[in-house]
Amino acid sequence: MNWEAYRNWVEAGKCSEMRWELPSNAKEVFDLPEECLPELEEAFRIITSNQRLKELVELWHFLIYHVPGMLSEHSNTWALPDNLGGVHVRMFSLVAVVSGIEHAIANFNATGVNDTIISDTLGYIGRYTRDIKNKRNVWGIESLTWLRNYVKAEIFRLGRLTFRAGQDFLPFRAFRSRRTGEVITLCDSSGKYRTDGLADGCNGINDPEAWNPIFELNEAFVKGCPVSNKYTALREPVTLDLREWEQMWAPGDRIIEVHIATGPPKLTHEACIDSYRQAVEFFPSYYSDIKFSAFRCWSWLLSPQLQEILPPESNIVQFMRDYHQLPVWGDESAAYDLVFGNSATDITKVTPKTQLQKAIVDFVMAGNKLRGSAGYILWDEAVELTRK
């Protein structure tokens, strides 16, 4: 935490620009649920009447709106109680976000994006608030580290999907045949895999015989361990002649992160294609000095096992089929949180209410484990998708 920067901000009187009551346009800007407004208004009243709580909101507001870098660099190690002077910590987080409503609006206005993108993106705060109420039975928000991207205009909802420009760090490289168009994914040498080909540590399981892949790249050829059609790392390396094979995606490349925000509407394949169509038009014009290699998604929705337990026409299976999937670290926690409402769900005590819940319960009760996964779509593959 940069305390000097915070003190300078306070001494400059910048905190006086904060909203200390519920802004009249907060419901519209953040698409906040009507039912939460009385409690949010009361939270503002309690906080402004308590100097210590007020100072804490000032600090959070500063971290959300005024410091560079990721919020996790400053606050993820802070342990806070559920109740802060009569305000639930999740509602406290929402107050900190809403207190900077002018900054959120100004951040987006500075980008020059249209009103629909602004409304759809900032409206995620309200949709997330509804989701927390459904799952935790309290009003408010959590995951400020992630939600900060929304109010800082560093992420954009384009139709059904949400996108963020980033730089890739996954230990994989994609090569495409100039002759046939075939794409092969090779594991970079920094990865580590179990004997079953999954990332070491996946589902909390480490392998004492875990191995590091071979990778060699020069002007003539590339030699590396490929990812199989079962999305596992193969220990036997292949050699590709670079006169035929072209590297298309690698660690350090600029990519577009794909995120699946809470609906509506449904995650239909048609809606996803429309989002990719908007993205391939938006990002090259908005970031005109950047060449993007691929779209990359890391989500429980890319769990390979879902293809085994869901019908092929399901929205989830159609979504994942567009991606080259990767053997990355993952576990079941995100799926449990988003499907059952709690990352620590005890599957043995679940009464399924949906087809997806039943499919997961049956799968896990049979002794299997879900895992999140990651995948990529090469940039020109995404362009081709939008032309179909």
What is the full DSSP assignment across 19-83? --S--TTHHHHHT--GGGHHHHHHHHHHHHT-HHHHHHHHHHHHHHHT--S-THHHHTT----SE
249, 278, 297 — which closes off a domain? 249
Sequence-separated (6 or more) residues with CB below 8 Å from residue 219? 242
Predicted local distance difference test score (pLDDT) of residue 3: 72
214, 249, 284 — which closes off a domain? 249
Write down the residue that tokens 């045949």 correspond to. 177
- Could you tell me if 27 and 110 lie in one domain? yes
- Could you tell me if 219 and 337 lie in one domain? no
Predicted local distance difference test score (pLDDT) of residue 71: 61
Torsion of CA 271, 122, 381, 316, to 10 degrees: -50
Q: Where are the beta strands (DSSP E) in 17-111?
A: 83-84, 87-88
Residue 199: which domain range?
A: 172-249
Q: What is the DSSP letter of 265?
A: S
- Could you tell me if 273 and 329 lie in one domain? yes
Assign 366 to helix, strand or coil: coil
Q: Is residue 266 part of a domain?
A: yes
Q: Is residue 162 part of a domain?
A: no
Cis amide bond preceding 38, omega within 30: no
- Could you tell me if 217 and 133 lie in one domain? no
The sign of the dihedral angle between the CA atoms of 323, 325, 330, 331 is positive
Strand partners, 157: 162
**Total-model pTM:** 0.92
Residue 289: CB atoms within 10 A of its CB come to 5
249, 267, 301 — which closes off a domain? 249
Predicted local distance difference test score (pLDDT) of residue 143: 86
Say how far apart CA 288 and CA 284 lie, in whole Å.
5
- Evaluate whether 328 touches 170 at the Cβ level (below 8 Å): yes
Q: Report the domain count for the chain.
A: 3
Say how far apart CA 219 and CA 181 lie, in whole Å.
20
Sequence-separated (6 or more) residues with CB below 8 Å from residue 339? 356, 357, 360
Say how far apart CA 337 and CA 125 lie, in whole Å.
18
- Could you tell me if 242 and 287 lie in one domain? no
Phi, psi of 210 (to 5 degrees): -60, 150
Strand partners, 215: 224
Predicted local distance difference test score (pLDDT) of residue 76: 47
Predicted local distance difference test score (pLDDT) of residue 1: 59
Predicted local distance difference test score (pLDDT) of residue 67: 80
Helix axis angle, 115-122 to 101-109, nearest 10°: 140
- Could you tell me if 202 and 274 lie in one domain? no
Q: Is residue 96 part of a domain?
A: yes
- Could you tell me if 373 and 297 lie in one domain? yes
Predicted local distance difference test score (pLDDT) of residue 70: 60
> For the segment 290-326, what is each residue's pLDDT rounded down to a tens digit?
999 999 999 999 999 999 999 999 999 999 999 999 9
> For the segment 332-386, what is each residue's pLDDT rounded down to a tens digit?
999 999 999 889 999 999 999 999 999 999 999 999 999 999 999 999 999 999 9
Tokens found for residue 381: 């593959």
- Evaluate whether 226 touches 193 at the Cβ level (below 8 Å): no
Tokens found for residue 165: 């420009």
Q: Is residue 159 part of a domain?
A: no
Q: Is residue 166 part of a domain?
A: no
SS (H, E, C) 202-233: HHHCCCCCCECCCEEECCCEEEEEEECCCCCE
Residues of the chain with pLDDT under 70: 1-2, 69-78
Say how far apart CA 156 and CA 120 lie, in whole Å.
8
- Could you tell me if 7 and 150 lie in one domain? yes
Tokens found for residue 222: 């590339």
